[in-house]
Structure 1
Amino acid sequence: MQLKRIVVTGMGALTPIGNNITEFWNNLRNGVSGADTITNFDATKFKTRFACEVKNFDATSFIDRKEARKMDRFTQMAIVASDQAVQDAGIGDDNVNPDRVGVVFASGIGGLITFQEEVTNFAKGDGTPRFNPFFIPKMILDIAAGHISMRHGFRGPNFAVVSACASATNAMMEAFNLIRLGKADIIITGGAETVISEAGIGGFNAMKALSERNDDPKTASRPYDKDRDGFVMGEGAGVLVFEELEHALARGAKIYCEIGGAGATADAHHLTAPHPEGLGARNVMLQALDDAGMTITDIDYINTHGTSTPLGDIAEVKAIQAVFGGHAYNLNISSTKSMTGHCLGAAGVIEAIACIQSVQHDIVPPTINHFTDDPELDPKLNFTFHTAQKRVVNAALSNTFGFGGHNACMIFKKYSA
C-alpha cells in the first residue's frame, strides 16, 4: 500500500512568549523568557510563585461572551489557536469537503481550573449540590476537539488524545496516520493546556517537579545547566493543519514543510522518572527515523523534551548519543522550554511549530539560561546555548515524553516536489 504524503499548510499559536506565530517565533529566536510572577491566582504561600503564563489573553475578543463562559480556559485557547491555523491554511467552504476534514486534539489534564472551581464551591457550601450545568462539558479534555469541529463544521474524524506531556505529539501522530491511510484529507491537530492554578501548581509542587527559583523566575528554566532544579509550568495552545499533499496542491495551499515520520514507545520503567539510560527515548527516535525512511545524518536539529529536571535532561542526552553516535556532534540541540516553560499537553505542538519555523528559516532557536556546565553532559555537543544559530535545517526532530513513560517523536522536513 502506497502511503500518502502529508504536509503542513496552516499554523496557530498562543504561548507565553507570543499570541500568534510571528510573535512566538520572533521571541523564540531572540531568546525571550516567558516566566514571571503568577497572576492567575494568589501564589504567595506556594513553594513556586512563578510560571510562564499567556499574556494579554481575553477570550471574549475572539469568542462570543456567552459562549466563552461555557468553556474552560484551555478550550478558549484551543479555539483561538485553531482559528488562526484554519485562516492561515485558507480553508473555506469552497475548497474542502467538510466530511473529509477532522480534528484530533490533545490536552494532558483538560479543564483543571473548572474542576477546581466547582469542587471548591461545593465544599464551601452546606452540602447541597449546586453545580454549573456546564461543569462536565467544560472539564472533559475531548471538548476542545468538539468545539473546533462545531465552530468550522468539520465532520471528519474527531477525538482527543491524552498521554501527559506527550499528548500533542501523539495527537499529531494520529492525525498523520489518519491522512496517510486515506481516512481524511485534512486534520486540524495540536493541543492546549492551562493548569496554572492552585491545584496545578500545588500538585506539581507536592511532586517536587517544579523549580522553586522564586528570586529569579526568568532564568529558572535551565535545561542542561548543572544547577537546574525542576521545570517551570507553562500554558498555551498550538494548532497545525495537516493535509494530504495532492489535496493541498489542488487547492493551491501554501506548504510549510512535510511530515517525515513519527514514533511512539513506552519506558515501562517508572511513574514519573525516565529510564536512566533513555531506553524508551532511544527507541522512539529510531522508530521515527525508520517510519520516515531517513538516516541519522538526515537530521540537523533536535528540539528536545529538555524540561530542566535533573534526571530527564541527562537521560534524553544519553538517548540522543546512543541513536546518533558521532553525528550527534554535527547536530544542533536546543530546549525551547527554557523560554516557554513546560506547556504539558500542548508542549509537543508548540515545539513542533518551533521545528517547522527552523526548517522554514534555517535558524535554530537557543537554549537560554545556561550558567554552569553539567559534568554529566558531553561538552562537545552543541546545545545552542544563549543565542540562535543560523544553519541549513533540512530536517528537525521533536521529542516529547510524559509521566507514565510515554514517548512520542515526530520529524519535520523541507518540502520538495
Structure 2
Amino acid sequence: MKQPISITAISSISPLGKSPEDIWNNYQNNRHFFTKKETNWVAELPSELKIEIDNLKQSNPKYKALDDSVLFAIYTSRQAVINANWKASDNFGINIGSSRGATTLFEHYHKEFLKNHNAETLVSPTTTLGNISSWVAHDLQTKGPEISHSITCSTALHAMLNGIAWINSGMCDKFLVGGSEAPLTPFTIAQMQALKIYAKANGHSNQNEESQYPNQSLNLNKIENTMILGEGAAMACLESGENPNALAKIIGIGYATEVLEHNASLSTDAICFQRSMKMALGEVNSEDIDVIVTHTPGTIKGDQAELNAIHTVFCNKIPSLTTNKWKIGHSLGASGLLNIEMAILMLHNQKFISIPYLKAQTPKYLNKILVNAVGFGGNAVSILLSK
C-alpha cells in the first residue's frame, strides 16, 4: 500500500445489537443468537432494532417501497458518518454492496407476477442492486461517487478495496464502504439448503457438548455442514493517511480469484486465500500477526480449505484463529465488514474473542489482525489491520 488508510468510524446492526457497548458485551458471553424461523435456524436482528428499521421505513413516503437491505444500509450509514463527524459537503464516496440484494421485495414481486401476470410499477428500481448506494447517497445528500456491487460473500471487503483504491488514486480522500444483507427469506434459505450446506433444523448431530451450537464454524471435527444465514449491515468510514482518531489502520490488502471447478467450490488448499493473505502481508513478517478472523462459514469443505491455506502461509507459527459465525451466522455480503468490526473491537479492548467449543492460544497483546472473506466464485479478500 502507498500509505496507511485510517478507519475513523464503524457502525453496524446485527443480532449482536447496534452500539459498540452492546456488541462487545455480547461477544463476551458464550451465547449464540440463533432462533428457529418456521423450521430453519436463522440469526435475526433484535426486536427493538426491527422496530427502529420499521420506523425508518415509515419516516419517509419514498422509503416505504424499499427493501430491508436498503433500509439497513441507510440506518448504519447515518450512524457511521455521525461517528466520523463527516458532513455531506465533504463529498465523500460511497461503495456499499450486497450478495443477494432486495430478496424480500424480489420474492414478493415475483409471487405477485405469477398470480396476476403483471409487474408492479416499482419492481425494477427497488430490486436492482444499484439502489443501495443510491438511496444512501440520497439520504445523506452527498455529491461524491456512489457504487453498488455484488461479489457474493466477499462483497463488503471488496467495497473496502474500492474505497482504498479511490483514496490512493487521489480522486477522493474519504470513502464510506460496507455491506448490507437481509437474506432471511424462504427462497434464499432454500437455495442454501439445495447446496446441502445449511444447518439441519434438528441441531448438530455430534452427541457431545458442542451440539448446543448449531453453527460449528472452525470446528474441523464436525460431521455435517452447519452454515446458518444471519441478517445485518456494517459500514466503515475510510480516510487517507494516519488519523490520530482512527479506530484502526489498514496496512495491507490482498485479493485473488481462483479457477472454478464448480460453481460453489473452493479448492482444497484455497489457492485464492493463500494469494490474498500473502499479498496483504506484503513485507510484514507472518509471525507478527496476532489473530486471523476467518471466513469459515461452518461448512466442512469451506472451513477445511481456509485452514489449509492458513497453514500453508503461516507454516508452524499459526496466529490465534477466531470467527463470529458460530454466534451470528453468515450475513453473506455484509459478513466481511462485521469481521472487520470484530477485529477492531479486539484491538481496542485488547482482548481476544474466543470460540467456546474450541481451544485457542490467547495472544497477550493484540497489534495486527488479518481479516478474511471469500465468496462463490473464489473471490478472496484479506485485510490487514493494525492498532
Structure 1 SS opposite 2:374: strand
For residue 286 of structure 1, the aligned residue among 274, 278, 287 is: 278
Q: 2:96 matched to 1:97?
A: no
Structure 2 SS opposite 1:69: helix
Alignment size in residue pairs? 374
> Could you tell me the percent identity over the aligned residues?
23
d(CA) in 1 for partners of 2:154, 2:292 = 16
d(CA) in 1 for partners of 2:130, 2:144 = 15
Tell me the TM-score normalized by structure 2. Answer: 0.91
Is the contact between residue 41 and residue 199 of structure 2 (CA under 8 Å) also seen in structure 1? no
Structure 2 SS opposite 1:8: strand
For residue 219 of structure 1, the aligned residue among 198, 213, 220 is: 213
Correspondence for 2:18: 19
Question: Aligned-pair distance for 1:30?
Answer: 2.2
Question: Aligned-pair distance for 1:29?
Answer: 3.0
For residue 128 of structure 2, the aligned residue among 140, 143, 167 is: 140
Question: Aligned-pair distance for 1:369?
Answer: 4.5
Question: Aligned-pair distance for 1:366?
Answer: 1.9
Deviations 1:25-80 (A, max 9, x none): 22123233111112xxxx34xxxx12111122132333515233121000100111
Aligned counterparts, 1:131-210, within 5 A: 131=120, 133-210=121-198
Correspondence for 2:208: none
* Structure 2 counterpart of 1:336, one-letter code: N
Q: 2:105 matched to 1:117?
A: no
Is the contact between residue 339 and residue 368 of structure 1 (CA under 8 Å) also seen in structure 2? no
**Which ranges of structure 1 fall in alignment gaps of 5 or more residues?**
371-381
Is the contact between residue 105 and residue 142 of structure 1 (CA under 8 Å) also seen in structure 2? no
Is the contact between residue 217 and residue 226 of structure 2 (CA under 8 Å) also seen in structure 1? no
d(CA) in 2 for partners of 1:297, 1:343 = 30
Relative to structure 1, the CA distance from residue 215 to residue 320 in structure 2 (aligned partners, 3 Å threshold; closer, same or farther) is: closer
RMSD, aligned α-carbons: 1.9
Q: 2:56 matched to 1:62?
A: yes
d(CA) in 1 for partners of 2:35, 2:62 = 30
Is the contact between residue 110 and residue 141 of structure 1 (CA under 8 Å) also seen in structure 2? yes
Is the contact between residue 178 and residue 236 of structure 2 (CA under 8 Å) also seen in structure 1? yes
* Structure 2 counterpart of 1:10, one-letter code: A
Question: Aligned-pair distance for 1:397?
Answer: 0.5
For residue 86 of structure 1, the aligned residue among 68, 75, 81 is: 81
d(CA) in 1 for partners of 2:378, 2:87 = 40
* Structure 2 counterpart of 1:271, one-letter code: N
Is the contact between residue 110 and residue 193 of structure 1 (CA under 8 Å) also seen in structure 2? yes
Question: Aligned-pair distance for 1:215?
Answer: 4.3
For residue 268 of structure 2, the aligned residue among 265, 273, 276 is: 276
Correspondence for 1:261: 252
Tell me the TM-score normalized by structure 1. Answer: 0.85
* Structure 1 counterpart of 2:371, one-letter code: S
Structure 2 SS opposite 1:12: strand
Correspondence for 2:342: 354
**Which ranges of structure 2 fall in alignment gaps of 5 or more residues?**
205-210
Aligned counterparts, 1:29-68, within 5 A: 29-38=28-37, 43-44=38-39, 49-56=40-47, 57-58=50-51, 59-63=53-57, 64-68=59-63
Is the contact between residue 102 and residue 184 of structure 1 (CA under 8 Å) also seen in structure 2? yes
Correspondence for 1:379: none
Moved more, 337-346 or 221-230: 221-230
Structure 1 SS opposite 2:82: helix
Structure 2 SS opposite 1:239: strand
Is the contact between residue 286 and residue 323 of structure 1 (CA under 8 Å) also seen in structure 2? yes
Structure 2 SS opposite 1:76: helix
Question: Aligned-pair distance for 1:335?
Answer: 1.5
d(CA) in 2 for partners of 1:62, 1:394 = 38
Is the contact between residue 74 and residue 111 of structure 1 (CA under 8 Å) also seen in structure 2? yes
Q: 2:292 matched to 1:302?
A: yes
